[in-house]
Structures are given as structure tokens and as C-alpha cells.
Amino acid sequence: MRRGWWLVRWLGTGMAILSLLTHSWGQDTEDWQYEECKLSRPGPPATIVTIDEESPNGTVLVGNMQINGRPQDPGRTISLLLLDNYDYWVILDPTRQRLYLNSTGRVLDRDPPNSITTIVVQIQCTNELVGTIILHEVRIVVRDKNDNTPRFQQPRYYVAVNELTPVGTTIFTGFAGNNGATDIDDGPNGHIEYSILYNPNDPASNGTVSVANTLSGHITLAERLNYEERTRYLVLVQANDRAPYPPNRRTATTTLTVDVLDGDDLGPMFLPCVLVNNTRDCNPITYHVAIPEFTEPSKLNPLNVTPSIRAVDMDRNIQPPSDRPGIHYFILVGHPNTYPEYFSLNRTTAELHVLQPISRDVYQRFTLIIKAEQDNGHPLPAYADLIIEILDENNQAPYFQFATYQGYVSESSPVGTTISASANLTAPLGVIALDNDIEELDPGETPTKDPMVKITLNDYTTIFGLTPTGLIRYLRLLKPVDREKQMTYTFTMVSSDGVQQSIPVTVNILVLDANDNTPTFPEVSYSVEVFTDMQQGETVLQLTAADADEGLNGLVTYEILAGAQGDFIINNRTGRITVAPGVTLTVGRSYALTVKASDNAPETQRRSSITTVYIEVLPPNNQSPPRFPLFTYSLEVSEAMRIGAILLNLQATDRENDPITYRIVSGDSQKVFNLSETIGLLLLDQPLDRETTDKYRLIVTASDGNPGGTSTTTVNIVVTDVNDNDPKFNITTPTNFTVQEEQADLFIGEVTATDPDAGPNGQVRYRIVNHPDLFTISENGSIYTRVPLDRELRSQYSLVVEASDGAVDPRRTSLTLSIQVTDIDDNSPMFSQQTYVVNVPENSPVGTVVLKLSAVDSDLISNVTYRIKTESAQQLFSLNPITGELAVLQTLDFENLAAMGMGAFYTFQVEAVDQGGVMPPGQATVTVRITDMNDFSPIFVQDLYKGLVAPNAEKGTVITTVLAEDQDPPGTPASFVRYRVDLDRSPYSGSIFDVEEVSGRVITKVNLNEEPSVTFKLFVIAFDDGEPVKTNSTLVEITVLQPSRIPIFTQEEYKFSPVSELAPFGKRVGTILAAAVNQTIFYSIVAGNELGHFQVNNRTGVISTAKPLDYENVTSYVLRVQADSMVVVMSNLRAPSKTNTAKVFIEVLDENDHPPVFTRKLYIGGVTEDTKIFSSVLKIVATDKDTGNYSAMAYRLIIPPTPEGQDSFVIETYTGIIKSAMMFRNMRRSYFKFEVIATDDYGIGLSSSAEVVVSVVNALDMQVVVSTVPPTLVEEKKEELIRILERHVQDQIPGAKVIVEAIGPRRHGDGFELEDYSKTDLMVYAIDPLTNRAISRQELFKFLDGNVLDINKEFQPHLGEGGRILEIRSPDIVASVKKAAQAVGYTEGALLALAIIIILCCIPAILIVMVTYKQFKERQAECAKTARIQMALPPGGKAPPAAAPSANLYEELGDNSMRRGYGRQELSMESGIDPGQDYYTQDYYNYDQGYDLPQFGSRRRLIPPMYDEYGEVIMEDDGYYYSGPETARKKRIKLVVDRENETSSTGEESTTDTQWNRPPNSNINGNVYLAQNGSIVRTRRLPHPNNLKGGSPCRLGKQFKKLDKLGVTHEEPPPVISIEGSGINTENGTGSCSPSDVDVNLNTRSSCGSLGSTNNELKTFGSKTSIAKALIDRNNIGPCVSDEQETCVDNHKSSRETLECHSDHTLSDEDELWMGPWNSLHIPMTKL
């Protein structure tokens, strides 16, 4: 039992233990499930990490969130989800519990405007086991990176500093606040500090100032400033951030301009100031004044001081000018000491006054020292000397009647001779000296009183004397004169009255020559040896006699009186003795010749002398001395001759050829010359100076060394002058002159200059340099006034007189004269103002001075008094005549004056009279305004104003508005109310609140930070501008609102979707929303809606449109909205704050509401005849006010369709460039007119249209503008240049359009084959908008060439310096044609002679023709008869059926399909050819590539082809198939084509056509072209390679005439042959056909006669099928009859041309004329 019980007990215990373990394990398992999603790490629940801004995309933010659980399959226990991931900056990797940065396409920027400082996301973890959710916050803090540079808010900063500012003073605080540099980085990276940098452009600036506080950037003065040395400093300021690591710091720089202001640191200075050695110090100045003795002060005051006493402050730029000190003047000390009794100096004006008359016997001079100092007590005065001369009572200086005197005297005159006034010595020279103290003379008046003055000469007093007394004094000769010693005497004279002296005058005395010198031989006798072998004419001796006289008196004549025995002769002019002709000298003979030298004076005065020449004849073998070729040599040498120059060759000859030695014996004591001892060359050894020595007489010997072997010659050297001396003014010439004002041609004084040079180099001329318009100077140096002077404008002139010699390159000397202008009474007094306006308060007391008038007389002596001119004003006002004070005489009442109708102002005239003068008084207008007194004070509308303000209101927040009214008359100052805060009564409130002075708005003065519910009391004063000022005050109670009463907007800024500008009224834009506790919110727009385009619902906050929007005017709006509590609004109060205001940004969406606008209504362009297809013609531009695609244009053209369906122009859809789509050959002077459409939005929007006119031109319509600049510059400035040319053309033809054809290098040369790329050819033409055609080349030339000067002036700014138009010429091709024609014209004479010879030779041929004429007529009749028979027969010999339809042209060509679909059509065409057009004279087009079908009518003749027996086309010719042209008029042709009957007519007659039979399946080949429209056009044969020059001269002359003359276009009607029955119907005769031969090229050799040749006008018009075809058999030379028929019809003219010119490959004259455009109408010419 026990053993069982024990077992039971142990089993129960085991079961209990097992149950307990099972429960415990289950409990543990349940707790583990709830641990999922929890953080496995300790610490705070939020995960906080940091990251640098601008980190790259994919940066790991959190490596592992450490969240419990398995987030991935299999066995997933948790799920992770990322929440609150605004802007998707974070990416979650749930399997790795890792967060990454997502910055794809953007940058994580901590700085504004993004300002991303923190990113907060939530990681939602869901426990998949139990379903619980846990949120884990992750806060990512963005660290700042120094990635922004500091930026200064201003580009430059400026400060002005007075030079007296002490060192250390803060001069600039402009970097404070946000006005300096800012850095949007955070922390130290955004903190700014300032420093001064070295400025290389202003090195001194960095030492002048310093930074006092590096954080605030305050600049202080480091050195003292000096305005006089420097006025501006450029300081370079650097701002850098304070990044922790200095190398990473960023910097910015700016310039601080420091302007130095002038301060009062210098004293005054007297003017004029002459600086000492370029310093700022002035040389001492002395003022002068002279007054006559015993003169009343009233006649002298104020004294005329020279120069005028004036001092100025050396600190001249003190600002404002009102701060500049005044100058006071004093007499500091003087000598003699009694000067205060006689003189006084005005303290402010510096006028010097004499106090009493002065006796010169007591005082002759006063020397005073005057002082000038500033009125502000500045310690630096200025000093000057003042010298006052006391003049004798006789204060008028004597003067001479003339400024210069010219006298003449003969050198033979005895002592006592009176000097004459003329060269013929008939009238004496009278000298008159006058003195105004004795007698005052008017101009031209003759003096009568002897002034008793003393006249003295400064030189030559021993030679000339002056009679001591008498009114007229005479110069007498005191000592004989000799002209040969001195020719002229120049001296000066002065006259004196014992006190004063006159101005010196110059006397020139010329000594006239007298025959007082006898020709003199140097030797009394001469001995010379001659030899028997001397030939006739050989020189024996050269005699020279000198005569010092001049002219004929000095001209010497020689003659042999006796002893020559016929063996010797002498030259009467040169004195050369030679062997007589035919004389043979005999040995041993001797001769004694008596030679006479005489002058050429009159016979009675002639003088002469004689000499003896002894001649001995020796045999030729005797020893003889060397002989000079001449006994006397004369030469002139310039004084500028260089040293070493060869002057003369003195080589002598010795008969024995012994060596010769040369020496200068005498005449060269200074060794100026050097004579070569061996060869006899005379050289210059020293410089010459004509002014020192003007001539030399050298005695030269030549010796052969043998006794008696020396000969002598004389060399006379005259030194000629060069201009090496400047004219010099006489040192005694006075330099100070006076002249009276207001007189012209008044003598001032005289200057004298001399020049020691000779001839023109010594002739002195005078010139006024600086005032030639005011003064003039005569040839002798006398100075006069040219025009009247005005002392009041200028009282002193520094006149520069220049003396120059008469050389080609003259030398000059100048002299400065001081000319003082003396005063006369010639000015009326002038008021300081012409109009005075003064305000006088009403009820002013009697005698109140209301105005002080001031008038000044510019004359030196004046006595101005004042008076009222208007009599009525004399009852109300009084004017003090001396002081000019205007006072009221009676009380003036504003209301009474208004009631009397006098108004509030009174105007009258006042006068200023010069009592001692003769001039009329000066006048001025005075207007006295009676002002109303300030009777009323401003009154506030409310006694108490209340306002609310937010606790955090910003500075400038408007709280309320006060209003005060003033009952004074509107518009008066007393009614103008202003406001201010009463700081005395509200000191604290006044520190945080303010009132705007004009509007009365009460605003916050600072950013508030006040407690709620606090009430401030602000006292506001209202005041007016009246006299006196009246005020009133009111109280404003300002309560700080509870924050709970202030709504808070959900956003600070609202940005809504763009609103269409076409949005209707009431269109909802967006909704703003603000929240408040238990408050009804009232919304309003407070700013940005001044135009009222938007409205807001006050209750819902819905913003909608209120007016139409216009994107083109306003593209966006920024509205300021405010949300207020309704309780506050109902109280008429508002409380703006940061939270209850927000910004609303509204963008306007552009719509297509504006159509395109073309830049012009009509576009004009041009194309040339050779323009290629798809060439640009012109550009169309249309603009649209809309934006985006709505302004993108698509262009298209509307051109009338052509029969061919081909457009003449196309346009690029999106560029607007019009291009050609066809060829324009032969279409000159035609035009196209069409329409261009522009559609916006790339062609699907709105459209507009404009007209386009394109005219066809060629080179004949153009001109070439040749300019001096390269083509690249012309191309660059093309638009500007064309506008200038267009403007000048439009002056003649309004609206004309100038178009550029080409820009290229200048072409020149005979054939224009040379190119110059430094110049440009600009080829242009102009279109007339009235005719739509080109202006003629001649007219365009006239318009441009006639204004080329004006065009060049307008071209200058665009072409640069030197850029201009060289010429305007015709194009190259035109000039080439003219030149070629002229060249050919030279052969016309030869051709005429050749023609005459041909005519003479052709006479026998004419006889032969006459004999055969009859045979020819018979053959012609036979041919015509045969043609009639064959044409009457049907093809194949059968008659056609009556009703058989006639085949049309296309059937003839084998294409019957083109006939279907055509009914009866009526086509009209009108020639568009201008009768005045010019034509080319040669075919410029080559058709070797096939014929381009002309788009318009053509004058090319179209002929039917001719076929051979195989059906091949064999004919190619320019034969005529129509009658002659009608001249000088356009012709309108109307074609009616009947497709059923194949008939056509001109409206006159129509006949049924017969069928034209031809072989089937025939091909059109050769040069016949079939167009798509059915036209048959035959291409022309290729032109001659040189059609112009290869032609005959006669033909070329015709073409040249067509080029120069206006071509006349002829309509060329087609030839008509009407067939009726079997005959040919003609009106005036029967046509006949002559035999015709056709060569291989189908050139007709002979032609049929014309049908109806006598007809001038064809009457019928038949279709081509109605013309019988007369065939010509090539193998048959007989009559033109064959199986096939072809017409052989032509007029006489074409027949003759075909016969005579069949070998001429050039085109005929008619073939050169083109039809031109037929208004885009394409008509098959073959149907004509």
C-alpha cells in the first residue's frame, strides 16, 4: 500500500512539475512575440543622424535601424514602411533596415531658397505575429557646408568725409544690418568679417582708413586728410566668412569711394595769384591807384585800383556754399601815418575811398598794407601792398599828333637843313605835340595853342635838333650825314610838360643818296707784260673802279681815252682790257693806255677818274709770271655756308708750267678763309656772320718762284643774309596803355621791333595774337581798337603782339601789353532782379519795410537813387531813394483788398536813376502779395483714436489713421496739415510708434515684442504751415491684441494654378485658409490688387477674377491677403501681424488672343532676269504679342494660279523667306503681286495678311555705289546704309524701296577685270511703289549722285573715318557695251570708203539685174499659180468631206488625247510691256540644256516644223511667219478658241480651218519643244560666242542705240492667210511665190514674195490649220512645188533679210526685242 501511495505521490508531483514547466514555456513564448518591432539598442526612441548638404545621391543615412524582427521572407515577422517622407528625400531598404538619401536630379541644399535644415521621417513597423504597429522617428539634421560666397548688397559704396575730421573718427557704417555683405550659409560659414585690402590702383588708400570692428565693418580714419592734396580715395574692402578652417573661407570685395570734402583749413589770398615755383603760395601782390590832387572825393570814389582789390578763401569748395566764410578787408598800416585821414577801405567790398582832397605838395605817395581775413575768426590772414600816387593838378600827359614820323634828307644837304616829309624833299617834316591841359581837341580839329612842352630826342642829338618852341616843331640837320656810312637814323621823341611825359614816338630818317663819290681805281697806274702769241680777245688786264654811291650814281663805265693805237679795247661795263680783233702784237712795242672810269649820274653831276696802263710786248719764250684769268673776282656767299665749302677756283696759268703757289696777302685778318697753296681753291674756314662783317676784299697772289713771277688778283666777297635773327622789341617800348571804351579805331600806342637781318629777313611785320577781333595793328606798330570796347565786360586786356620778319619761314617774337580800358558813362543802373516778389502779411504796421531794392551801375562813377514809377502804388508804398527800402504807407487788409477787386497782390514799376549820368534809368517790377494770416488751427475728426496691434507686429505695420482738418482757405499754407508724435507727452510710446507726416497713418516704429492686452497711449500733434503755425493734438490708444484673437494662415505663401487670361468674371483661382479659436474670420486683399483684377470672398476665402486679365500687360500678380477676426473688423480695426497675412502668387496663362502683325502692309522686292530657281527674294516678318507657340508663325502665299499650275514664288513656312520658283528670263519691267498669310501657333491659330510686290529687273535698272571701305564692312552695315540711300530716294519718290543686288570688291580697269578688295561695289536698284517697276537707272543716278555729299555725311558714322562714296556708276555690262560700241565707231570712216568702192563696182551688176528682172517676174507668177492649184487640192488628191472635223494642233503632232475636255474658251491677254523700257543688245541666255518654257508671252517667233519624206523634222530657222510690227503702242489681243470647230479669231473675222495633212507617227525632235500646256516653242539657235563684238559695226551701232534710247515695244501680229475655196484671198493684190532654196540647216536662200504686200494692216486672222502648206523640194531648184505643202509666205522685209543676211549667225534686230510679261497668262503662241 505504501509503495503504491508513494508511487502515486511521486507521479502527482511529476505531473505538477510538468504542468508548471509547460505553463512557464508558454508564457515565455508569448512575451517573445511582443518584442518584435522594438529597438534592440538602448537610448532615446528617436534616431538622430547628421549629413552634409549637397551629399551625393545614395548616401547612407542610417546603416541599421536596429529594429527587432525579421523583415524578409521566409520567416518574416515584421514589415517596415516609410511615412512622412515629404519630397521623397529618404529611401528605405527594409531588408537591411537601412536609409539612403534620394537626391536624384536635385541637390540637398541647406541654404535659401530651399533651406532644408532637417528631414524628419517615420519608420512604421508592423508586427506580423500579433498585428501591433510601432512608429520610429528618424531625424536627419543637414549640416551646413561653406558653399556660398559672401555677397555685397551694393556694387559700390560711397562716403564723403570732411578734411578736418579727426583721426580715429568712424567715417562709414554702411555695412551695418543687411546693407553690407551677406552669406546665406549657416553658423560661422555665414558670419562676415571685414578687412582692408591693398589697392594697386590706389596704393595710399589702405593706409588712410582702417577697420575698427571687423564684424560690423565700421571704417575709421587712420590718417589726416588734405583736400588740397587729394580729393578721392578708392578703398578696397574685403568681406570673408568665418569658416573654421581658414583655407575654406570664401571672400568678396567691393570698393568704398571716400570723397574728401573741403574744410576751412586755409586762409584767404589776394587775386590775381601768381604761384611761386609751382607751389600753392602766391607771390606778393601790389595794388596801384593814382588820384589827382585837389580833387573832390565825390568825383573819385570809389577809387579805380589796378587790379581791383579782391581776395578769396583758398578753401573754394566748402559745401554747402552757405557755409563758406566771408572776407573782411582792413588797412593794417601805412605810410605816412596820417593815411586814416585821407583813405578808408570798405570792410566787405574792398572799395577804396578818398576822404578829402590831397595836396601833392604835402603828399606825393601813400604806401599802405591791406589785410584780408575771414569773418569766422580764422587765424590765417593775407596781406598785400597798396600804393597810392598823388598826381599833379596838371594830370594830362602831353601827346604827339602822330605815333610815328618818317623824314628824308639828302646826304649833300648842308648843316641847318630842315628834314623833309617826302622823298622829293619838297615839304618839311612838322612835329606837333599837344597837351589836353592847354587845349582839348575833338577828332579832326586843328590845334591853335602852343602847349609849350619840351621835346627831347633819345639818340642822335648831335646830328639832329628840334626847334625849341612853336606849335609845329621842325627837325634840323646839325651835322653832315653820309649815306655811305649810315643810311637810316631811328630814334624816339618824348614830350614833357614838366610833370608828366608823353608816350614815346618813333622817328625814322632816311638819308637819300647824292653823287658825292668819284669812281676810284685801286692803283694810280698799272704795268703789264703781254706776249706776241696772245690771241684776239685774250685778257690783258681787268680794271675795277669802285663808287660808293647807289643807283646810277654808283654805276661805273670804262673807256680808253688814248694810247691803245687800235691794238687794245676795253669793255665799258666790266673794265676788262683785251687784244683787239685782227691785231698781231710785235715784240718790243710798248703802250701807255689812259683809261677813264665815270659814273652815270646826270651830265652836270657826273664824276670820273683816270689811270694809266703800261703794256710791254715780250717774245713768247721769255719767263712770265702766272696769270689769273681775272684781275678781280666777285661772289656772294651765304652766311649759313658750311665750313669747308669750296667758294672759288682761283687757279692761274703759267706759260712755263712752273709750279704755282697761292697766298692770301691781305683782307682776311680773322683767318675766315683758307686758300689751297697748290691748287688755288678758296675754302671757308670759319663761320660767317653777315651782321658782324658783310663783305670781304681779299688780295690773292700766285707765284711760280721766279723773280718777278708773282701776279695778283682781287676777290670781293659779299656775305648774303640768312634769317638767323629774331625780331627784337625796343626795350624802351612801353607795355602799359590805356584806351577809352565805346570807341572804334582809337589809337592806343605803338610798339617798335627791329631785326638785324637784311632784306625781307629784316623787314618786321606785326600781328595781334590773342584779340585780333578787338584790336588791330598797323605796319609801323601802331595799335588801334578795331571795335568799341566795353569796360563793364572787361576792364583790362593782356594783348600779345607778335613781330615777325618777312622770310618764307619767318622768325617771331612776342610782347605782352597791358591795356586798361577807361570808363565813360554808358550804362544804366540795373536792379539785382528784374522781378521782385515779396509776401506781406495783412495788417502789417505802417512803415514796415517789406523789401530792400538794390541796383548797380556798372560805370565806375555813379550815384544811384530809387523811385516808384507807378503813381497808384505811391499811395500804398514808399521807397527810400538812398537805401532802396520799400515800406507800406497804410495798413493792408487781405479781405478788404479782395472786396475792392484789387486781389491778393499788387504789381508796380520801380526805377533806379544815375543822378550824374546821362543814361536812362533802370526799371524793375515789384509784386507785393498780401498774405492771409493763419486764423484757424487744425481740428481732429475724432477726439480719440483706437487701434489694435499684434504682439509681434513688424516694423512699419499700419495700426490706424488720424485725420485733422483746417478751415483756412484751401490751397494756402495755413490749410496744409501735417502730423507728428508729441514725444514730450508720450516718450515711450513715441519710441515704438510713429505717425507719417503727410498721410497721418500710425505705424510701428520697431518690430514689436509686447505682452498682450497692453494699451499704449500715443499723443499725435497736427500742425499747419501758416504764419504763425497753429497746432492741435489727439490721443491714439493702441492695444496689443491677444494672440488667440489673431487668425493664423495655414501657409505663408499660396501658389495656385495659372489662370487663363481669357478666364470669365468670377473664375475661381484658389482658396486661402486661416484658423482661429472660436473666431469668425474675415478675409481681405490688402495689397497687390490695385487694378482690382481679383476679389476674395470675405467668409470662404475663395479668390476669383473680378476683371478681364491680359497676359501681355501683367503676367503675374502677388497679392497680400489678411485674415482678421470678425469682432476686430466690426470694430473698424485691424491688427496685421506675421501670422494673419500671407502672400498669394497668381500666374496668368497666355492665350492666343492676338493675331499676327506684319512689320509693314506692303512688302516690295525684286528679282533679276537671271535669278536662279529657289533664290531668296525677301524676308517677311510678322510679330505676335502672344508668347510661346502662339507667337510662332507659319507663312503661306496666295498666288493666282497659272494655266500650268506652276507658282512663281514659294515661301519657307517658318522663316518667312520668299524664294523664286521659276525663271524670269525676258520679263524685265514686269511684276508679280500676291498675298502672304501669317498664321500663329505654327499655322493653326489666328491669321493676318499683307501684300507682296516683286518686280523683275536687270542690270539696266541698277547703279553701283563705289565706297572706300572693304566689302566686309559694307556687308556688316548693309541695313543702315540702305536705309540712308532709301531715305534720299524717297525724298523724290515717296515709298520707294531700295534693294541690294550684290556686294563685292570694287571692279575697275578697261574691262572691269581688276578687283580691289579694299573698296566695295554696292549694286542697288529701287522700286517705285506706284508703278511696281524699277526706277530708271538715270533717275536713280540723279537721286543718289545729286545728294552724295549728304549721303557721305550720314555714311560716316557707319563706315568710320575716311569711309565715303567714291562714285556712283553704271554696272559693268552697261559700261562694257558702251565702250565696245565707241571702239567700233572708229572704223566707220573706213567702212564708208569701202561702201563707196563697193557701189562703184556694183553698177555692172545692177545692169545685169535689170536685164533679168523680166525673167524673174515670169517665174514668180508661175510659182504663185502652181501654189494656188496645189492648195486647192485635198491631201492625196482628194477633196475633203464637207462635214469632216478639222484636226487641231495636237492631232497634227500625233497626240489626240490633249483635245478632249476642251470646250469653247475665251482668253484675254494684255501686254505688260513698258514702252519706256530698255533692252539688252545681246542674248544672255544659253539654251544648250534645253529650252526653259517662258511663263509669260514671248516675242520669239514660233514656226511650224518642216518634214522630209521620212517624217523627220528638218527645218530650224528664224523665218518670219507674221506681218510687221505696230509701233509705239500696246495692243490688246483677244483670242476666242472654238475647240469644236478649231477656229480662232480676233473678233473681226473668223473662217473655218482646213485640215493640215502630215505623215502619221511623225516625231517632234530637233529644237522643237512641246510644253505640258500644249504650247509649241522652238528653241533659238545658240548665240554667237561673241555676238556683240563679232557682229558688224552697223549692227553693233543699232544695238548701242537700243541700249541708250527707250525701246519701243511692238506687237507682232501673226501672218494671216485666209483660204476661201481654192484661192488665196488678198485685198490689194495677189501673192506670188518665188523659188526658195533651203540649205542643210534650213536657212532660206530665197524667199517667196509676201501676199498682200501693199497692205499695211491685216484684216483677217486664220487658224494655223487654215494655212496651206507649200512644200519645198530640196532637190528641185525650180518652182517651189512638191507633194507636201508648206506656206512660203512672208513680208518683203523678212524676205530681204533672209536673202541678204542668211550667213549672219547673229540675231536680227527684231529677234532681240522681247515680249515681256503678259500678266501670268500662258497662251500657246502657235495658236496665234
**CB of 1714 within 8 A of CB of 1478?**
no
Residue 497 has pLDDT above 50, yes or no: yes
pLDDT classification of 1434: cutoffs 50, 70, 90:
low
Query: Could you tell me how far CA 1338 lies from the centroid of its own chain?
Result: 32
Q: Are 375 and 268 in contact (CB under 8 A)?
A: no
Q: Which of 233-242, 439-448, 826-835 is predicted least confidently?
A: 439-448
* Mean pLDDT of all residues in 517-523: 90
Helices and strands in the chain, H and E counts: 18, 104
DSSP strands (E only) in 1340-1412: 1365-1369
Q: Which amino acid type is present at position 784? A: Y
Q: In this predicted structure, which of 549-553, 1182-1186, 1668-1672 has the lowest mean pLDDT?
A: 1668-1672
**pLDDT exceeds cutoff 50 at 815:** yes
DSSP annotation string for 1581-1648: PPPPTTHHHHS-HHHHHHHHHHHHSPP---B-PPP--EEETTEEE-SSS--------B-TT--BSS-P
Positive or negative, the CA dihedral 1315, 1318, 1321, 1322 is: positive
| Beta-bridge partner residues of 1465 | 1537
3-state secondary structure of 300: helix
Separation CA 289–CA 305 (nearest Å): 5
Task: Report the pLDDT averaged over residues 936-956.
Answer: 87
Distance CA 1567, CA 1570 (A): 10
pLDDT tens digits for range 818-830: 999 998 888 889 8
**Using CB atoms within 10 A of its CB, is residue 1027 exposed (0-12), middle (13-18) or buried (19+)?**
middle
Give the residue-averaged pLDDT of 1024-1039: 88
* Residue 900 pLDDT: 59
Q: Which of 842, 830, 835, 847 is nearest to 886 (CA)?
A: 847
Q: Are 458 and 504 in contact (CB under 8 A)?
A: yes
Burial 313-333 (b: 16+ CB within 10 A, else e): bbbeebeeeeebbebbbebee
Cβ atoms within 10 Å, residue 851? 17
Which pLDDT does position 1496 carry in this prediction? Answer: 39
Residue range 63-84: average pLDDT?
Answer: 89
Q: pLDDT band for position 1428 (50/70/90)?
A: low
The percent of residues above 90 in pLDDT, for the chain, comes to: 31
Amino acid identity, residue 475?
Answer: L
Q: Which residues does residue 949 pair with via DSSP β-bridges, in sequence order?
A: 1040
Distance CA 886, CA 833 (A): 15
**Choice among 315-329, 1289-1303, 1381-1395 with the minimum mean pLDDT:** 1381-1395
pLDDT score for 1081: 87
pLDDT for the residue 1086:
86
pLDDT given for residue 594 in this prediction = 94
Quote the pLDDT of residue 292: 84
pLDDT of residue 1202: 67
How would DSSP label each residue in 1121-1159?
A: EEEEEHHHHHTT-----SSSEEEEEEEEEP-S-S--EES
- The answer to whether residues 963 and 999 touch, using CB atoms and an 8 Å cutoff, is no
Give the integer Cα–Cα distance in Å for 1644 and 1701: 10
Q: Region 957-982: what's the mean pLDDT?
A: 87
Q: How far apart are CA 648 and CA 1104, in angstroms?
A: 118
809: pLDDT strictly greater than 70: yes
What's the rounded Cα separation, in Å, for the pair 699 and 686? 18
Q: 3-state class of 1038 per DSSP?
A: strand
The dihedral sign for the CA sequence 744, 745, 750, 751: positive
pLDDT digits (tens, 9 = 90+) for 379-391: 788 899 999 988 7
Q: Return d(Cα 1713, Cα 1601) in angstroms, integer.
A: 13
pLDDT value, residue 1710: 35
Mean pLDDT of 1320-1331: 93
- What's the order of all strands across the beta sheet hosting 958-961? 958-961, 1001-1004, 993-995
Residue 990 has pLDDT above 80, yes or no: yes
Can you give the pLDDT at residue 1116?
92
The H-or-E segment that residue 1551 falls in is none
Determine contact, residues 390/354, Cβ cutoff 8 Å. no
Query: What band does 19 get if pLDDT is binned at 50, 70 and 90?
Result: low
pLDDT in tens, 1147-1198: 999 999 899 999 999 999 999 998 888 889 999 999 998 988 888 999 999 8
Q: How far apart are CA 364 and CA 392, in angstroms?
A: 9
User: For residues 240 and 183, is the Cβ–Cβ distance under 8 A?
Assistant: no
Length of the chain: 1728
* Minimum mean pLDDT range among 14-28, 102-116, 486-500, 1417-1431: 14-28
Q: Give the Cα separation of 1078 and 1195 in Å (integer).
A: 64
Peptide bond into 1440 cis (omega under 30): no
How far apart are the C-alpha atoms of 1359 and 71, rounded to whole Å? 82
The secondary structure element, H or E, covering residue 163 is none
Average pLDDT, integer, range 1119-1148: 82
Task: Please check whether residue 917 is in contact with residue 857, taking contact to mean a CB–CB distance below 8 angstroms.
Answer: yes
**Residue 1019's pLDDT is what?**
94
Is the model's pLDDT at 956 over the cut of 50? yes
Mean pLDDT of 1505-1520: 44
With CA atoms as reference, report the closest residue to 684 among 650, 643, 651: 643
**Residue 1363 in contact with residue 1270, Cβ under 8 Å?**
no
Instruction: Tell me 874's DSSP state.
Output: G
Query: Max alpha carbon distance in the chain (Å)?
Result: 223
Q: Name the 3-class secondary structure at 1323.
A: strand
pLDDT at 1059: 93
SS3 1436: helix
Q: Which residues have a Cβ under 8 Å from the Cβ of 396 and sit 6 or more positions away? A: 435, 436, 437, 500
In degrees and rounded to multiples of 5, residue 845 shows phi and psi of -60, 155
- Region of residue 398 (phi > 0: left; psi between -120 and 50: alpha; otherwise: beta): beta
Contacts 24+ apart (CB under 8 A), 469-472: 471/432, 471/447, 472/430, 472/431, 472/432
The per-residue pLDDT for 368 is 94
Cβ atoms of 1278 and 1272 closer than 8 Å: no
Q: What is the mean pLDDT of the chain?
A: 78
DSSP 653: B
Q: What is the pLDDT of residue 860?
A: 80
* Cα-trace Rg, the chain: 61
CA dist 836 and 518 (Å) reads 91
Q: How confident is the model at residue 1489 (pLDDT cuts 50, 70, 90)?
A: very low
* pLDDT classification of 1466: cutoffs 50, 70, 90: very low
Strand partners of residue 1149:
1060
Please report the pLDDT score of residue 321 as a whole number: 76
Question: Cα separation of 1160 and 450, whole Å?
Answer: 93
- pLDDT, tens only, 120-171: 999 999 998 888 899 989 999 998 888 889 989 888 898 999 988 999 999 9
Q: How confident is the model at residue 1574 (pLDDT cuts 50, 70, 90)?
A: very low
Backbone angles phi, psi at 1046, to 5 degrees: -105, 115
Q: How far is CA 595 from the centre of its chain?
A: 84
Q: What is the pLDDT of residues 918-938, one digit of tens each?
A: 788 999 999 988 877 777 889
Q: pLDDT tens across 624-663, in order?
A: 788 888 888 999 999 889 998 999 998 888 877 888 999 9
- Nearest CA to 239 out of 227, 250, 231, 226 is that of 250
Cβ distance 1651 to 1618 under 8 Å? no
Helix 1593-1604 to helix 1372-1385 angle (10° resolution) is 140
Per DSSP, 987 falls in state H
Phi, psi of 293 (to 5 degrees): -75, 160
Average pLDDT over residues 33-61: 86
Measured distance CA(952)–CA(944) in Å, rounded: 24
For 1133, the grid coordinates are 480695426
Backbone angles phi, psi at 853, to 5 degrees: -85, 150
Instruction: DSSP letter for 1375, please.
Output: H
Report DSSP letters for 368-390, one per residue.
EEEEEEETT--S--EEEEEEEEE
